[in-house]
Chains A and B, each alone.
Chain A
Amino acid sequence: MTESQRIETEPNLDPGWFEDRVVELLPDLLGAARSLAGDPSDAEDLAADTVARAWEHRGDLRERGRFRGWIFRILRNVFLSGRRRRQSRPVEVPLSDEEGEDRPFSLFERLHQPFLLWWSNPEEEFLNGILREDLAEAVDALPDSYREVLVLIDVHGFRYAEVAAALEIPVGTVRSRLARGRSRMQEHLWRHAVDRGLREPPRPGQRRPE
């Protein structure tokens, strides 16, 4: 008898198995919640609500092997329904999706400037030096409407059309929010790198800055 056949005859997953799977997936669930919510305590609430919802609907899970995809779908649904509730009251600075397109900030272009040429490969150095905290901080700093689009696409691999349907906005708006979100995020990462001394020229005898 295969695992999936067994589960058909056993609709109620045993609590021990459920708890083990949840705890095992907790870093991923919390990571997803963290980047979507943009705030640590909201993220914990979102992840906890997801676990509760999953337990409540465990009868819908057909195969144990699909647990991961199934619980992530629940997490996104919990996030999106919470988001609809939040939107019924005015939040954050209104953003115009139609505003004239300012030239997007390009990290690549900054890294390609002549003063950085003493680095063998400034882009590679930059990418290697990037930390999870830097990325998390840059994503958290985005306005909610930019962050959710960017996270659904760049972290969760959603298609533009899927994001448009989930957030009930036109695909063109997804595209422009994504472009602005990425531009702001790159600008944030650049400023952070500059603060850390990216521009400092190497001292004589030193091959690379520390």
Chain B
Amino acid sequence: MNEMERIDCEEAVQRLAEYLDQELDPDGSTELEQHLERCRSCFSRAEFERQLKTSIRENLGSADVPAPFEKRVRLLLKGLVEGE
């Protein structure tokens, strides 16, 4: 197939965030994926941004619970149950 490259690096970088957020329409995604298959630099960039996004989700999704807070929640529930 002798297909012309539809988008350049600048366009690819511009679309990348929406692509990783799964907000890009199917045509736009396909064009970007075709670019990523051929462009090492944009591919590395996409991998980096994807992993950073994953790291944010995994790290900020949960927190260490301070013991006094767990106690506060248990007391709160005890109060609510007894208050009925």
Residues on A close to B: CB < 8 A?
15, 18-19, 22-23, 26-28, 30-32, 34-35, 43-44, 47-48, 51-52, 55-56, 107-108, 111-112, 123, 127, 130-132, 135-136, 139, 151, 153-155, 157, 159-160, 175, 178-179, 182, 186
A186, B69: Cα distance in complex, Å: 31
Residue in chain B with minimal CB distance to A16: B81
Q: In whole angstroms, what is the CA distance A48 to B52 when docked?
A: 30
Do A154 and B57 have beta carbons less than 8 Å apart? yes
| Residues of A close to B48: CB separation below 8 A | 107-108, 111, 123, 127
Interface residues on B, range: 20 to 34
In this complex, what residue of B is CB-closest to A25?
B62
Q: Give Cα A112 to B52, complex, Å.
A: 15
**Is B17 in contact with A178, judged by CB distance below 8 angstroms?**
yes
A155 surroundings in chain B (CB, below 8 A): 56-57, 60-61
Q: Roughly how many angstroms separate A30 CA and B68 CA in the complex, as a whole number?
A: 13
Q: Given A130-B55, A132-B59, is A27 in contact with B21 using a C-beta cutoff of 8 Å?
A: no
Between A and B, 24 residue pairs with Cβ closer than 8 Å are A15-B81, A22-B73, A26-B69, A26-B73, A31-B62, A31-B63, A34-B60, A35-B60, A47-B73, A51-B73, A51-B76, A52-B80, A56-B80, A108-B48, A123-B48, A123-B51, A127-B51, A127-B55, A130-B55, A132-B60, A135-B59, A151-B60, A154-B53, A155-B57
Residue of B nearest to A109 (CB): B45
Q: Out of A19, A44, A179, which one reaches B74, CB within 8 Å? A: A19
Q: Assuming A127-B48, A179-B17, A182-B17, is B73 touching A31 (CB within 8 A)? A: no
**Residues of B near any A CB (own CB < 8 A):** 17-18, 21-23, 44-45, 47-49, 51-53, 55-57, 59-65, 69-70, 72-74, 76-77, 80-81
B residues near A35, Cβ cutoff 8 Å: 60
B57 near A51 (CB under 8 angstroms)?
Answer: no
Q: For the complex, give the distance between the alpha carbons of A13 and B35 in Å.
A: 53
The reply to whether A159 and B23 form a contact with Cβ atoms under 8 Å apart is yes
Known: A26-B70, A30-B65. A136 touches B21 (CB 8 A): no
Complex alpha-carbon distance, A22 and B21, angstroms = 30
Contact of B63 with A34 in the complex, beta carbons under 8 Å: yes
CB distance from B81 to the nearest CB of A (A): 5
In angstroms, Cα B13 to Cα A17, docked, is 49
Taking a contact as CB atoms under 8 Å apart, the answer to whether B62 and A123 are in contact is: no
Contact between chains at A136 and B17 (CB < 8 Å): no
Known: A22-B77, A31-B62, A51-B76. A135 touches B23 (CB 8 A): no
Among residues of A, the one whose C-beta sits closest to the C-beta of B59 is A132
Listed from nearest, the 9 A-B pairs whose CB atoms lie closest are: A31-B62, A31-B63, A132-B59, A27-B62, A35-B60, A30-B63, A15-B81, A123-B48, A28-B62
